[in-house]
Amino acid sequence: MAFLKFMLLTVFATLGIVRSETTTLMQGPSDMPKKRYTGRAAFMQLLIDEGVTHLFGNPGTTELAIMEAVPQFPELTYVLGLQESAVVSMADGFARASNKLVAVNLHCAPGLGHAMGALYSAKFSGSPLIITAGQYELGYGLQEPLLYEPLVPLAQPLVKWAVEVTRIQDLPRIVRRAAKIALTPPTGPVFISLPGSILDDEAELDLGSPTRVDASNRPSDEALDRLADRLLHAQHPVIIAGRELANHDAFSEAGELAELLGAAVYQEPVPYNARFPSTHRACMGDLTRNQPKVRETLQPYDLLVCLGADLLRMSPYSPVDPLPEEMPVVHITERDWELGKNYPTEFAFRADVKTTLSALLPVLRSKRSSEQASQASQRLSELETRNWCVQRDNARKQTSETATSKPIDPRYLMMRLVNALPHNAIVVEEALTAAPALASFLPMQDPNSFYGLASGGLGFGLPGAIGISLAQPGRPVVVAIGDGSAMYGIQGLWTAAHLRLPITYVIINNRSYRIIKERLLASRKTDRFIAMDMKDPPIDFVSLARGMGLKACCVTDPGDLDSALRDAIESGAPNLIEVLVADGFGA
């Protein structure tokens, strides 16, 4: 064995791979010499090496080692949230608006527990988060001290990978692996439990280097050829445009596909982000999550093309299936779990949607006959008579009739809000009952112009806007959020004020859980509303906001909306507008 080692070193030295055995022993796979680190310093440096710029957290006793190290690494901005669910939502927002890796530090088992709802949302949005939580020193948990619980089993259901560090020597490998897993499509959060004894330990470490998996793959030329023939054969194709189009900046390619095919385009039912340019002549607006309505909408078409989207993710149960029977499906997504998950899929491609479209479009152009081009043009002309722009104009006319209504009609509020937006504004929505009205007025042109509720679980909007603002500096952010939704993340107001971010929170206050009332009435045929009102006492959002350092006002007259919205957005400062709107049930 010694002779073999000598021979290998001699060969490597001859080839110039190593200079000496001593150097080899000091070097690892990254070809960097080992240095002595504490666990906490190594952890921080590893985050920076992986491209992390922001660490969102809420510190406790088990995180003191991290907090001791934070001032030594000014390249990493620590963002304080006042409750762990708000912390994860902030990080989720930053990741969604930047497509970058983000770090989170939570406080042991209760902190991770607080954050689980927000972590659920981050899982659905596919946010690449390295979530960590401080843990007691290795072995001390046996005594069951306060705040202790094994953390990995808590996190595992909602993350791509969960692990506890048990040796400081493993820390570089764990962080590198976590970053790689989080950033490899389908992207998503990972979890690392950090015992205090690991963070305080010292060792000679080779920190290694980042690994990035190139996932910009596409189907084979043969598959694209067959796909092009299938697409051109369709007489009435329809496209469902999904979040991956925005994530990969593929609006232009998706728009050209719609033009070549003469296909109607609907945005997928879950409002993750902008998904497709609203003013494109083929855009028909959002699909709903009402199964009978979706089925009715899709019934006229003979081929469904799902681009970077979930294939018809719905909400409450319905006996009606949203996909018409015998509807053939083409599905292109980087999330292979979604392919054929609920419905047979004729063409199922695990692929990068932008790379695939870039390769597919020239094939379509070369194969499309003059007759097929003429038919596509005719279909587009017909779509232009009823597309999103036409629907918006009709909605404006109808909604303008409510201009003097008191309490304010939430549809009118959404129309005036959109009218007040500067061209570079970002809208964050967690409005539920007002969301359809907002979608009918808001033109989504920029992939980074809109972010909505990804999972159905409330609490993202108010703190999530903070992360979005940090990821898109210089752009005003306007948050349209219901009063019930706002209370799930109200602590975020303090962080917005502390960081002096240009966020305008518009609280759509109907003093109730209106969507629950509507669903109770529709599904159970009763209007006995128990525990669905917040009127006794009413929540004073203006006082809440001022108490956390924001400028705030309350609007009750529709005639005051324009000036209040304009002044707030133009101020470039964090502020809140509470708007009292009709509750939909005559109160």
Query: Residue 363 sits in a domain of what CATH number?
Result: 3.40.50.1220
Residue 17 burial (C-beta neighbours within 10 Å; 0-12, 13-18, 19+): exposed
**Domain identity same for 271 and 290:** yes
Q: What is the pLDDT of residue 497?
A: 98
Residue 573 belongs to a domain: yes
CB 217, CB 355: distance < 8 Å: yes
Nearest to 245 by CA among 99, 369, 106: 99
330, β-bridge pairs: 305, 347
181, 306: one domain? no
- CB of 375 closer than 8 Å to CB of 475: no
**Count: domains in the chain:** 4
* Phi (first) and psi of residue 156, to 5 degrees: -50, -40
The residue-averaged pLDDT of 488-495 equals 97
Is the pLDDT at 281 greater than 90? The verdict is: yes
Is there a domain that residue 12 lies in? yes
The whole-number pLDDT of residue 586 equals 81
Mean pLDDT of the chain: 93
Q: 561: how many CB neighbours lie within 10 A of its CB?
A: 22
Amino acid, single-letter form, for residue 256: E
DSSP reduced 3-state for 307: strand
In-domain check, residue 419: yes
Q: What is the mean pLDDT of residues 241-255?
A: 97
Alpha-carbon span 399 to 414, nearest angstrom = 10
Q: Does one domain contain both 14 and 54?
A: no
Same-domain status, 232 and 337: yes
Confidence (pLDDT) at 194: 98
Q: In degrees, to the nearest 5, what angle opens at C-alpha 39 toward C-alphas 499 and 209?
A: 85
Burial of 67 (0-12, 13-18, 19+ CB in 10 A): middle
Dihedral of alpha carbons 462, 186, 128, 39, sign: positive
Which residue range is the domain that position 248 belongs to?
A: 221-386
- Do the Cβ atoms of 467 and 93 come closer than 8 Å? yes
**Contact predicate 373/550, CB 8 Å:** no
The CATH number for 75's domain is: 3.40.50.970
Q: What is the mean pLDDT of residues 210-221?
A: 96
| 365 in any annotated domain | yes
pLDDT average, residue stretch 46-73: 97
Cα separation, 74 vs 53, whole angstroms: 10
Is 587 a domain residue? Answer: no
**Measuring CA to CA, which residue among 470, 461, 455 is closest to residue 429?**
461
Q: What is the CA radius of gyration of the chain?
A: 26
Residue 92, strand partner residues: none
Do 372 and 411 belong together in one domain? no
Per-residue pLDDT at 3 exceeds 80: no
- Name the domain boundary from 386, 420, 454: 386
Predicted local distance difference test score (pLDDT) of residue 371: 97
Q: CB–CB of 489/457 below 8 Å?
A: no
The two three-digit tokens of residue 416, written as one number: 């005036």
Query: Distance (Å, rounded) from C-alpha 332 to C-alpha 345?
Result: 10
- pLDDT(1) > 70: no
Lookup result for tokens 């112009």: 449
| 409 and 361 fall within a common domain | no
User: Do 289 and 376 lie in a common domain?
Assistant: yes
- What b/e string do you get for 139-171 counting C-beta neighbours within 10 Å, with b at 16 or more? eebeeeeeebeebbebbeebbbbbbbbeebeeb
Instruction: Judge if 166 and 131 occupy the same domain.
Output: yes
174 SS3 class: helix
pLDDT of 19 higher than 70: no
Quick check: is 111 in a domain? yes
Both 286 and 415 in a single domain?
A: no
Helical segments of 50-170, H only: 64-69, 84-98, 108-125, 151-155
Domain co-membership, 232 together with 303: yes
Please confirm whether the linkage preceding 186 is cis (ω < 30° from 0). Answer: yes
Beta bridge partners of 238: 264, 304
Residue 31's pLDDT is 56
Q: Give residue 32's pLDDT band: very low, low, confident or very high (50, 70, 90).
A: low
Give how far Cα 269 sits from Cα of 165, 312, 328, 377, 472, Å. 40, 7, 19, 27, 25
- Looking up tokens 């999550």 gives 289
Q: Which of 181, 205, 229 is the last residue of a domain?
A: 205
Residue that finishes a domain, picked among 176, 205, 234: 205
In eight-state DSSP terms, residue 21 is H
> Percent of the chain, pLDDT > 70?
94
In the block, tokens 């292109």 appear at 332
Average pLDDT over residues 168-186: 98
Residue corresponding to tokens 């909007």: 461
On whether residue 395 sits in a domain, the answer given is no
Tens digit of each residue's pLDDT (9 = 90 or more) over 405-443: 999 999 999 999 999 999 999 999 999 999 999 999 999
Cα–Cα distance for residue pair 537/274, rounded to 1 Å: 37
- Contact by Cβ (8 Å): 205, 156: no
Q: What's the pLDDT at 167?
A: 97
Which one-letter amino acid corresponds to residue 174? Answer: I
Average pLDDT rounded to a whole number, residues 329-347:
97
Write down the pLDDT at residue 33.
Answer: 76
SS3 of residue 340 by DSSP: coil
Residue 273 lies in a domain: yes
**Residue 14's pLDDT band (cuts 50, 70, 90):** very low
- Pair 39, 23 in one domain: no
Yes or no: say if 520 and 494 are a contact pair by the CB < 8 Å rule.
Answer: no
Helix and strand tally (H, E) in the chain?
24, 20
Residues 450 and 481 reside in one and the same domain: yes
**For 541-573, how does the pLDDT look when each residue is reduced to its tens digit (9 = 90+)?**
999 999 999 999 999 999 999 999 999 999 999
Is pLDDT of 25 > 60?
A: no
Q: Which of 557, 558, 511 is nearest to 412 (CA)?
A: 558
Mean pLDDT across 333-339:
97
Q: What is the dihedral of CA 30, 31, 33, 38, to 10 degrees?
A: 0
